[in-house]
Amino acid sequence: MAFEITAANKADNNHNLLKNLLKNLKGNCFGDKGYLTKLWEQLYEKGIKMITKTKKNMKNQLITLKEKYTLRKRAIIESVNDILISVFDVEHSRHRKPINAFTHMAATIVAYHFYPEKPRIFVPK
């Protein structure tokens, strides 16, 4: 698991941000069309396969049936964000000190780990 707290004006498909998030991970990384960057080859060499839907002007990419099914389940990520906002109140903005805001965010992430009803994906064999 990896996460990074950034300013609101920083795009999540930023090259440096993706490098930092994915530097110690291996396997598949699912994203939307905006994640198609020049980093694809660098990430593939490190053992990370970036899987996205194709744009209109792109060639189809060869992906397994399991990867295609999992790509359709990308909305699970948004449900995790919804749990963090609705159950754990991560969007609280009335902190008077920055250390309190960071403590609140860290506590939210720790509490999520102990949350028993995390979203899951069932992938048929």
Name the residue type at position 106.
A
Dihedral of CA atoms 102, 103, 104, 107 in degrees, nearest 10, equals: 120
Report whether 95 contacts 105 (CB < 8 A).
no
What pLDDT is attached to residue 37? 65
Which of 46, 51, 15 minimizes the C-alpha distance to 31? Answer: 51
pTM of the model: 0.57
Residuewise pLDDT in 10s, the chain (125 residues): 677 777 777 777 777 888 888 888 888 877 776 666 677 777 888 888 887 777 667 666 677 888 887 777 777 777 888 888 888 887 767 788 889 888 888 888 899 889 988 887 776 67
pLDDT at site 29: 79
Residues 6+ apart with CB under 8 A from 41: none
- How far are the Cα atoms of 57, 86, 93, 111, 112 from residue 116, in angstroms, in the given order? 42, 15, 26, 10, 8
